Amino acid sequence: MMESPERGRSAVAMEFPASDGAMSCSPPTMPSWLRRRLSESKTPPPSTVEGIEARLRDADLRRQKFYENLSSKARPKPRSPSRCSSHEDDLGQRLDAKLQAAEEKRLSILTNAQMRLAKLDELRQAAKIEAEMRLRKKRAELSTKVEMRVQQAEANRMLILKAYKQRRATLKERTSQSLLRRMAKESKYKERVCTAICQKRAAAEKKRLALLEAEKRRVRARVLEVRKVARSISHQREIERKEMKNKLEDRLQRARRQRAEYLKQRGKPQNFVCYEWNITQEQEADILSRKLARCWRKFVMARKTTAHLTRAYSQLNINEGSVKGMPFEQFALLIQSTATLRTTKALLDRVEKRFNLTRMAGSAPNTSSFDDIDHLLKRVASPKRRVTPRKNVSSREDKKTTAIRQAAKTPVKLSRYQVRVVLCAYMILGHPDAVISGQGEREIALAKSAEKFVKELELLIKITLNGPIQVSDGQSNCVLGGRRTFRSQLGEFDSAWCSFLNSFVVWKVKDARSLEDDLVKAACRLELSMIQTCKMTPDGDSGSLTHDMKAIQKQVNEDQKLLREKVTHLSGDAGIKRMENALSDTRMKFFEARENGIPISPLSTLILSPNSASPAALGSSDKTDDLTENTPKRSPVVRSLFRDEVNPKEVSSPSSSSSPAEYSSEKLELENVRIVNECVHGENLAFIDTSNSADDGQENIMAKVRETLKKAYWDGVMDSVKKDKSNYSRVVELTREVSDEISAMAPKSWRQEIIEAIDLNILTEVLNSGKADIDYLGKILEFALVTLQKLSAPACEDELKEKHQKFLKELAEICWASDGSENSHVIAFIKGLSFVLEQIQELKQEISVARIRILEPFLKGPGALEFLGKAFTKHYGHPSNAFTSLPLTENWLSSMNGSKDEEWNEHKISRTLLTSRQEYSSRSFLPSTTLRTGGSLLVKMSSTNTADTSSSPSYATSLTG
């Protein structure tokens, strides 16, 4: 019975087949899906617990769906009420029975499935264990096999290596034997070749001597024949000359007799001799006057007078106005033309002759004070080209060549007015920007002197063409007020020329030196490139060269030859010598660098170039004359004369020359350690002087030794210039020392100016000329003192200036009080050098003290303690060797062994106090390593200084350097 809310109760009709009981007794029919599942493979894959639970849930869901589907199939049928109730009860019972049977069947199936799954799980676990065991067994077998194979491979490798080594040894032995055989064969071949060459050379020499002897015999016979012919010709000419002379004498005798007879007929006999004498004088005077007039007419017709030469020069249109308006290239072509040079030279030679005549006559009103300017002319004169003599010349040509060479050995008189220098004055005046680079004192002086010289030259030309003129410059020395004559203007012209020549030489020396430096550097680059490319050895052997290497070597030699010619043109033999020295230095430095493993390129900045230290080395260290070539090198005694402390080893015998360097280095290190130690312990560094540690007696002795050595040295220098044949080499050496010392202290930007102001080449020429220029020497001293004033402290500048002015006045008084000789000026210059060197040493001492003052705050940090520790270790050895190197300290520590605990407790208490004090203060303090050194504990140190000093513990090594 079923109830519904609309109909109430309603009956459900269910139909059962007639064979229901039989069907219930028969086994139930297996569903198709189950049959399909069972027909599948009997060995399903092993199931997990999660898979089984999922399957059970799926089965439960399918069962519920089946019941729902089954219940939905039941349809209610209209029956009678009486039959429906009983029939419904039967159906309900039967349905319950079927449901119960289905439930039991389901439970049995579930139980069987669980049992089957359990068995499958057991089988799976057993298979898993078996597979793991099998895998372990296989792994063990494989590892055993691999190990055996590795051992076998190692054994095989050792055998192969042994066989390879044996083969290598055999091959090496064979190679060495073959090389030895080849070397022996080559040596025998070389010996045979050398023997053959020597034989051929001996035969060739013998043949050459035979040919030479035959040639000598032919030449001797030819010479004898020529001499014989010459004797016969000269004898014949002598006979003809005698015959002609006899004929002339006969004619003269007849003429005299005829004249005497004629005079006898016309006059008295007593006046004959006097009258003949007067007639002879008048005739000779008439002949001479006619000859003079004829020569002058020829001279005028040849257009060789001063006026003609001046007009020819004026036609060139080279004057101040035209030069300034003419382009640079056009004017350069004009002054380089042969006609211009010939015309200008002719005029200048004539002016020189007129000036020499005027000076010899003593009538020049304003003769230049530069009477001897040969040392300046040598600077601007072009060197003569060397002509290679020909081999095949006749005996007469040999005599001519010998005569020419003998004449060349005699000193050549240089022209006073050089043509190219005169034309350069116009170039400087018209185009200063293209000629002069820079605006220094020398360039300004050169431009001013060129302008003055051009004005005087044009005024001289105007006077030559137009006669005396009136000038209004107020500088005329003529008697007619401002009237300028040719002679007076000639003196002014020569004075302006000497001034311009001096300025031009000073400027040209600098320019030529710069150009010479560039040429020498180029030659060094070529040499370095050739050495690297051809792989040359220090002995000059390059081994077997390829065709390219030979071509490179040939080209480099040709280029260096051209560079040598240019250097010879610039500086002569001295420049060639400097170039050769630079090339040898380049080779030496290259091979040293290659031995040390330093990579070097041809364009390196050392470039292994000449005198790589500084440009001053090229200019100052080069010896251009015999004076500076024989200059002795600087002795350590010279430097010790001006020091506050003197090393006894430095002034001892020269045999101990190797020890002073080591001694001074060790002394410097100990001095640095002493300074750092004093700073660490809070002592005031008033002045650092090594002599303070010496005894008073030793200090007095050393002071006397210094004074004695100093006096002896300067007396020797002065005696060398007081002799008849003065030697100025030591003066030049002292000047070089002044220049080097000032350059070492001055900034790099000042060094070029120092080199230009203290020019050793010009100084050498001035001293060798025999006429010392006191103005030039005074300028050198004044420049050195002014530079020292600039380098000194501003607070001491006024005091130094006053001191220097006082010394210069004393030197001036010495010069005025002397007899005006050249030696007195040089002696005053030597005294000035002595004073300058003393001032340099005082300045160096002030610089050292200032350095220590600057570094004093840094010398109170942890870095100073680290430096002291390293110095102590370096001096006494490693701490592990303390028992042998410090026996006294070991004894002291052994005696203090009983109180070490007490000392350690004091140390810990002090350290605790320092730590607590540091926590309450932002300031940092020195570590506790100073507790047992006797130093002050509360030495303040900033963090930045700590960082700086800790990063460079060895900074104090340069305190007194």
Structure confidence by residue, pLDDT tens digits, 103-134: 999 899 999 988 989 998 999 899 999 999 99
Angle between helices 328-336 and 338-361 (to 10 degrees): 70
Q: Is residue 333 part of a domain?
A: yes
What is the arithmetic mean of pLDDT over 437-459?
Answer: 85
Tell whether 322 and 469 lie within a shared domain: yes
CA-nearest of 846, 863, 856, 822 to 954 is 863
> Where is average pLDDT lowest: 291-300, 318-327, 716-725, 815-824?
815-824
Structure tokens, 702:
């050393």
Please name the helix (run of DSSP H) or strand (run of DSSP E) that holds residue 938, with its range, or none.
none
Structure tokens, 194:
């050398």
Tell whether 539 and 462 lie within a shared domain: no
Tell whether 467 and 522 lie within a shared domain: no
> φ and ψ at 8, to 5 degrees?
85, -135
- DSSP secondary structure letters along 271-283: THHHHHHHHHHHH
The amino acid at residue 309 is L
CA-nearest of 618, 625, 512 to 574 is 625
Q: Is residue 564 part of a domain?
A: yes
CA distance 11 to 74: 11
Question: From its phi and psi, is residue 877 left (phi > 0), alpha (psi between -120 and 50) or beta?
Answer: left
Cβ pair 490, 358 in contact under 8 A: yes
Computed over every residue of the chain, the mean pLDDT equals 73
Q: What pLDDT score does 287 carry?
A: 76
Q: What pLDDT score does 503 carry?
A: 84
- pLDDT value at 910 more than 80: no
- pLDDT value at 167 more than 90: yes
Q: Which of 551, 576, 596 is the last residue of a domain?
A: 596
Cβ pair 925, 914 in contact under 8 A: yes
Structure tokens, 656:
């101990």
Cβ neighbours for 781, distance < 8 A, ≥ 6 positions apart: 808, 811, 829, 832, 833, 836
Q: What pLDDT score does 440 carry?
A: 75
Cβ pair 830, 717 in contact under 8 A: yes
Q: Is residue 521 part of a domain?
A: yes
What is the arithmetic mean of pLDDT over 36-63?
Answer: 77
Going from the C-alpha of 456 to that of each of 122, 426, 473, the distances in angstroms are 134, 12, 12
What is the arithmetic mean of pLDDT over 412-418?
Answer: 80
- pLDDT value at 389 more than 90: no
Tell whether 532 and 476 lie within a shared domain: no
Q: What pLDDT score does 173 carry?
A: 92
Tell whether 505 and 527 lie within a shared domain: no
User: 145 or 437: which carries more pLDDT confidence?
Assistant: 145
Q: Is residue 935 part of a domain?
A: no
pLDDT tens across 482-527, in order? 678 888 888 888 888 988 888 888 888 777 777 888 888 888 888 8
Q: What pLDDT score does 270 carry?
A: 46
Structure tokens, 233:
């010709």
Q: Which of 564, 596, 628 is the last residue of a domain?
A: 596
CA distance 594 to 588: 10
Q: Is residue 342 part of a domain?
A: yes
How many domains are there within the chain? 2
Cβ pair 764, 378 in contact under 8 A: no
User: 654 or 347: which carries more pLDDT confidence?
Assistant: 347
CA distance 384 to 773: 30
> φ and ψ at 13, to 5 degrees?
-90, 130
CA-nearest of 434, 384, 377, 428 to 409 is 384
**Residue where the block lists tokens 């032995």:** 173
Tell whether 519 and 532 lie within a shared domain: yes
Q: Is residue 751 part of a domain?
A: no
Going from the C-alpha of 721 to that of each of 622, 623, 634, 639, 769, the distances in angstroms are 22, 19, 18, 21, 14
pLDDT tens across 174-231, in order? 999 999 999 999 989 999 999 999 999 899 999 989 998 898 888 888 888 888 888 8
CA-nearest of 937, 939, 924 to 859 is 939
Q: What pLDDT score does 163 carry?
A: 94
User: 773 or 803: which carries more pLDDT confidence?
Assistant: 803
Q: Residue 425's domain spans which residues? A: 305-385+413-512
Please name the helix (run of DSSP H) or strand (run of DSSP E) that holds residue 2, with its range, or none.
strand 2-4
Going from the C-alpha of 607 to that of each of 586, 590, 823, the distances in angstroms are 8, 9, 44
Angle between helices 748-757 and 729-745 (to 10 degrees): 160
Q: What pLDDT score does 150 carry?
A: 93
Which DSSP state fits 48? P
- pLDDT winner (highest mean) among 254-268, 389-403, 486-500, 861-875: 486-500
Burial of 271 (0-12, 13-18, 19+ CB in 10 A): exposed
User: 633 or 874: which carries more pLDDT confidence?
Assistant: 874
Q: What pLDDT score does 231 carry?
A: 85
Residues paired with residue 428 on neighbouring β-strands, in sequence order: none
pLDDT tens across 137-150, in order? 999 999 999 999 99
State the SS3 of 518-573. HHHHHHHHHHHHHHHHHCCCCCCCCCCCCHHHHHHHHHHHHHHHHHHHHHHHHHHH
Question: From its phi and psi, is residue 474 left (phi > 0), alpha (psi between -120 and 50) or beta?
Answer: left
Q: Among positive and negative, which fits the CA dihedral 377, 382, 383, 384?
A: negative
Q: What pLDDT score does 93 carry?
A: 87
CA distance 364 to 477: 10
- pLDDT winner (highest mean) among 195-199, 327-331, 840-844, 950-954: 195-199
Tell whether 467 and 551 lie within a shared domain: no
Give the N- to C-terminal CA distance of the chain in Å, as an integer: 128
Q: Is residue 537 part of a domain?
A: yes
Q: Which of 562, 577, 596 is the last residue of a domain?
A: 596
CA distance 863 to 945: 9
Cβ neighbours for 563, distance < 8 A, ≥ 6 positions apart: 519, 520, 522, 523, 526, 579
- pLDDT value at 102 more than 70: yes
pLDDT tier, 865 (very low <50, low <70, confident <90, very high otherwise): confident
Q: Is residue 449 part of a domain?
A: yes
- pLDDT value at 151 more than 90: yes
Tell whether 547 and 475 lie within a shared domain: no
State the SS3 of 102-156. HHHHHHHHHHHHHHHHHHHHHHHHHHHHHHHHHHHHHHHHHHHHHHHHHHHHHHH
User: 616 or 138: which carries more pLDDT confidence?
Assistant: 138
pLDDT tier, 86 (very low <50, low <70, confident <90, very high otherwise): low
Q: What pLDDT score does 758 carry?
A: 85
pLDDT tens across 562-580, in order? 888 888 877 778 888 888 8
What number of other Cβ atoms are within 10 A of residue 505's Cβ? Answer: 22
pLDDT tens across 269-311, in order? 444 445 455 556 667 777 777 777 777 777 777 667 888 888 8
Which DSSP state fits 959? S
Structure tokens, 353:
């002759």
CA-nearest of 371, 337, 343 to 355 is 371
> Where is average pLDDT lowest: 28-32, 265-269, 832-836?
265-269
CA 193, 197, 198: angle at the middle one, nearest 5?
120
User: 656 or 74: which carries more pLDDT confidence?
Assistant: 74
CA distance 844 to 337: 57
Residues paired with residue 470 on neighbouring β-strands, in sequence order: 483
User: 909 or 611: which carries more pLDDT confidence?
Assistant: 909
CA distance 650 to 140: 84
> φ and ψ at 484, to 5 degrees?
-105, 125
Tell whether 469 and 562 lie within a shared domain: no
Q: What pLDDT score does 566 carry?
A: 82
- pLDDT value at 703 more than 50: yes
CA distance 672 to 684: 15
Tell whether 549 and 590 lie within a shared domain: yes
- pLDDT value at 652 more than 50: no
Cβ pair 417, 312 in contact under 8 A: no
Cβ neighbours for 871, distance < 8 A, ≥ 6 positions apart: 669, 672, 673
Q: What pLDDT score does 281 carry?
A: 65
**Residue where the block lists tokens 């006096």:** 711
- pLDDT winner (highest mean) among 5-19, 119-133, 844-858: 119-133
**Residue where the block lists tokens 């309900």:** 92
Tell whether 311 and 460 lie within a shared domain: yes
Residues paired with residue 13 on neighbouring β-strands, in sequence order: 75
CA 424, 425, 431: angle at the middle one, nearest 5?
80
Cβ pair 673, 871 in contact under 8 A: yes
CA distance 322 to 340: 15
Tell whether 498 and 517 lie within a shared domain: no
